[in-house]
Structure 1
Amino acid sequence: MRVWLTGLVCALAVTTGAARAAPVESSATAGKAPKVAYLSLIIDDLGQNPERDSRALALPGPVTLAIMPDTPHATDFARQAHKAGKTVMLHMPMDPATGPYAWHPELPLPELESRLNAALLKVPYAAGINNHMGSRMTAEPVAMSWLVGELQRRHLFLVDSRTSAKTVAAAEAQKIGLASVSRDVFLDDERTAEAISGQLQTAIKLAHKQGSAVMIGHPYPVTLDVLERELPKLKSQGIELIEIRHMVTERGNEAMAGHGKNGRYR
C-alpha cells in the first residue's frame, strides 16, 4: 500500500508541475516508517487501599494490575479490574516477604504448591504472576523450575520482577518456552516526583534503544500523580503503551541486553 501511495503522490506532483519542488528522500530513509517503541506498565502491591487501587485502575491505557493475595481487598479488586478490561496478575509474595502465602527456600514443593493455589484463589482472573520481593526465592533453581512448569500447565505467564541479580526465574521460563518477560525499570524506588519522572524518561529512552521496556511502579500517591500526568504524553514521544501479554509476543521470550547475552538469560 505504501508503494502504491508513493507512486500516486509522485504522479500527482508531476501532473501539477510540483515535482521539482518536492523533497527527495535519501536511500537510507526511503520507504521506511518511523519505528514505534513499546512500553508496558505494571502497578504492584494492589489490594490494600481502595482509593489508591481506584486511581491505578483509572490510569489510561493497558496498565497491568498486580494484586497481592494477603490484602483485604484482593478478591474484590481483582473482579473490579477484570470487569474494567484490565489485565490482572497475582503479585506473589516470596522470601524475604512474609505471610501465609509467601514462598521460602526451606519449604517443600507441596507447601509451595498449596500456597500458590491459595493465592490464586484470592486473586481471581489472574492471567499471570510476578514476584513480590523474592530476592532469595527467585534464586532457587529447583523452586523456579517447578513454578514455571506449573504456570505453563495452568496457561499463565510470568513476569520476573528481577528484585535480585541472582534471579533464575526468567532463565527457567526460557528453558521450557513459558511466556515470560523481565522487568527493565522500577519507577519509584525513590518516592519523589522528580525521581519518578526521571525513571519514566529512562524507560522511554531504553524503549527507543532496544525496542521495548517493561516498567513496574507502585500505587504511591506521588507515583500515581506522575503517571496520570505523563502517560497521555507517551504517544507524542514515539511510545506505544501495550498489554504485558503483547510484550511477551513482542520480545519472543528473548532476554534484553541488560538481562543476558544473545537473547539468552544469564
Structure 2
Amino acid sequence: MRYLLCLLCYLLVGVAQAAPASKAYMSIIIDDLGQSTERDSRTLALPGPVTMAIMPDTPHASDFARQAHKAHKTVILHMPMDPATGPYAWHPGLPLPELASRLDAALAKVPYAAGINNHMGSRMTAQREAMTWLMGELQHRHLFFVDSRTSAATVAAAEAQAQDVAHVSRDVFLDDVRTPEAIAGQLQLGIAMARKQGSAVLIGHPYPQTLEVLAREIPRLRSQGVELIGLKQMIAERGNQAMPAHGKHGRYSNR
C-alpha cells in the first residue's frame, strides 16, 4: 500500500511538472506619434516590442515610420476619425470614395504600416456601413485593425470579426490621468487582466510620465509573470475572439 501511495504521488508530481504554465501576454501601443522628435525618440527607446501608432497629419510621420521600422518596431497608422479633424479624418456622411481617398493618403504618409487603429473616432467607429467597408479594405490590403474602443458604441471590432479580419481590441488606457502613480496603477490593472484572461492590450501616449513609468516597469514584467509581445503575436494568441469585457463567448456584443 505504501508503495502504491508513493507511486501515485510520484506520478502526480510528474504530471504537475510536465503541465505547461499558464501564459499571460501583454501588448503596448503608444498613440499620437510623429509630432515631436524628442517624444518619438524616447518612445522608440522603450524596451521590447512596443507598437508605434503614427498620426498621418504630423510633421515627422514618414521619417519616424521609417526610423521605427528600421529599429524592428511594429508601425501602425493612427487614423483620425470623427471627432478628430484634419485632411485625413473620417466623418459620418462622407461618401465611401472620399473615405477611400483619405485612407490612401494617410497610409502613404506612414510607410511600413502593418495595420491601423483609430485616433479618437467615438462617432465614426459607430458607423456600421463605413466600418464594414473599412474591414473589407483592410482584408484586401493584408492589414490588421486595432479597435481603440473610444466609445462603447463601437462596431469596428465586431465588423472585423464578422469578416475574419485580423484584429484586437484595447483593454486598458494607461494615461487618462497623467500622473506616474495613476499610470503605474493602470499598468498593474493590465497585468492583473493579462493574468486573469491570458492577455491584455494597453494603449498609452508619449507623455513624459507615461514614458517614465514604462521605461522603468517594462523590464519588470517578466518577473511578474507577464510576457510583452508584438501585436501580430497578440492577434494570433487571441484568434479574433472578443475578451469578456467586450462580448460573450468570444463574440462582440455590438453585432
Distance of 1:25 and 1:193 partners within structure 2: 45
Residues 65-102 of structure 1: per-residue CA shift (max 9 Å, x gap): 00000000000000000011000000000000000000
Report what 1:31 is aligned to: 18
What displacement does 1:33 show? 3.1
Q: Superposed, which structure 2 residues align to 1:68-107 within 5 Å? A: 68-107=55-94
Structure 1 residue 50 corresponds to structure 2 residue 37? yes
Q: 1:117 aligns with which of 89, 92, 104?
A: 104
Distance of 1:153 and 1:265 partners within structure 2: 22
SS of match in other structure, 1:99: coil
Q: 1:225 aligns with which of 212, 225, 241?
A: 212
Q: Which amino acid aligns with 2:80?
A: P
Distance of 1:27 and 1:217 partners within structure 2: 43
Distance of 2:75 and 2:244 partners within structure 1: 28
Report what 1:191 is aligned to: 178
Q: Which amino acid aligns with 2:152?
A: A
Structure 1 stretches of 5 or more lacking a match? 1-18
Q: Which has the larger radius of gyration?
A: 1
What displacement does 1:32 show? 1.9
What displacement does 1:106 show? 1.4
Report what 2:46 is aligned to: 59
Report what 2:117 is aligned to: 130
Report what 2:224 is aligned to: 237
Distance of 1:165 and 1:127 partners within structure 2: 25
What displacement does 1:25 show? 5.2
| Structure 1 stretch displaced more, 32-41 or 233-242 | 32-41
Residues 159-202 of structure 1: per-residue CA shift (max 9 Å, x gap): 00000000000000001100000000000000000000000000
Report what 1:251 is aligned to: 238
Residues 29-59 of structure 1: per-residue CA shift (max 9 Å, x gap): 3532322200000000000000110011111
What displacement does 1:27 show? 8.4
Residues 217-242 of structure 1: per-residue CA shift (max 9 Å, x gap): 00000000000000000000011000
Distance of 2:23 and 2:202 partners within structure 1: 17
What displacement does 1:24 show? 8.4
Distance of 1:162 and 1:36 partners within structure 2: 25
Q: Superposed, which structure 2 residues align to 1:6-25 within 5 Å? A: none
Structure 1 residue 262 corresponds to structure 2 residue 224? no
Q: Which amino acid aligns with 2:108?
A: L
SS of match in other structure, 1:148: helix
Distance of 1:40 and 1:140 partners within structure 2: 27
Structure 1 vs Structure 2 CA RMSD: 1.7
Between the aligned residues of both structures, percent identity stands at 72
Distance of 1:24 and 1:54 partners within structure 2: 53
Distance of 1:48 and 1:98 partners within structure 2: 15
Poorly superposed stretches of 4+, deviation over 4 Å: 22-28
Structure 1 residue 162 corresponds to structure 2 residue 149? yes
Report what 2:3 is aligned to: none
SS of match in other structure, 1:86: coil
What displacement does 1:28 show? 8.0
Report what 1:178 is aligned to: 165
Q: Which amino acid aligns with 1:37?
A: A
